[in-house]
Amino acid sequence: MATTFSDIAIISCGTMRMELQYLQKAEFLDSPQIFYTLPGLHQNVQELERQLVKLISKAKEKYSKIIVVYGGKFCYVNIDQPMRQMQDIIEEQGKGIVRIQATHCMDMLASEAELDAIAKEIAGGEPVWWMTPGWVKYRTQVFDGWDQGRANENFPRHTGGAIVLDGIGYLDSYMAENPEKFLDYVDWMGITLTPYPISLDRFKGLLTEQAEVLHSRNG
């Protein structure tokens, strides 16, 4: 019997909006409500925490089971409180709340071993800047405050280029419909930008895992 999400609210980083909506349309995800923080808040962890706590509080008004779709290690790095982690925020909000077990959005879509294999296939093992479709669609938010100088400091060291883990076919349509925007993005980054088709099986598995944890706890 398939795992149901019908009694589970989901709170996600806006960067993963397209994948979650895809799973809703595919009738895999029957969650009654999905809340989104703004994309790119890993650069402003105080605002990330504020939005996350606010949405958890809102979700708890209706639902006793909540899955948070945020990475742990890399999505929340608080330089003012270096020992504070994403898990601390979630545990402070009470019972019935779990987080998808991934370090960041790329890890939600492909395991470390899969990323290594893709890097070898596409980039010959050279350093890769990994992205998801949300990093393309929400460019201005994900890279808020980045000027050309900062781009030049960060991207070119990834000699294998940028690879977009695309489980929803977004990049093909984006390149066809917005070729100028795509080329502008590539020019700004100063490296190649390559879509890599994947399945959403890992993401589905991680969501299912947490749904089963909630159901085993609460019946």
pLDDT digits (tens, 9 = 90+) for 113-153: 999 999 999 999 999 999 999 999 999 999 999 999 999 99
Residue ranges covered by each domain of the chain: 9-105+200-218, 111-197
pLDDT band at 1, cuts 50/70/90? low
- Residue 218: per-residue pLDDT: 59
Nearest to 196 by CA among 164, 171, 172, 174: 164
**Could you read off the pLDDT of 166-176 as tens digits, one per residue?**
999 999 999 99
- Give the mean pLDDT of 61-79: 88
Distances from the Cα of 31 to the Cα of 5, 8, 56, angstroms: 5, 6, 15
Neighbours of 78 (CB within 10 A): 16
- The verdict on pTM exceeding 0.85 is yes
How much is the mean pLDDT over the chain?
93
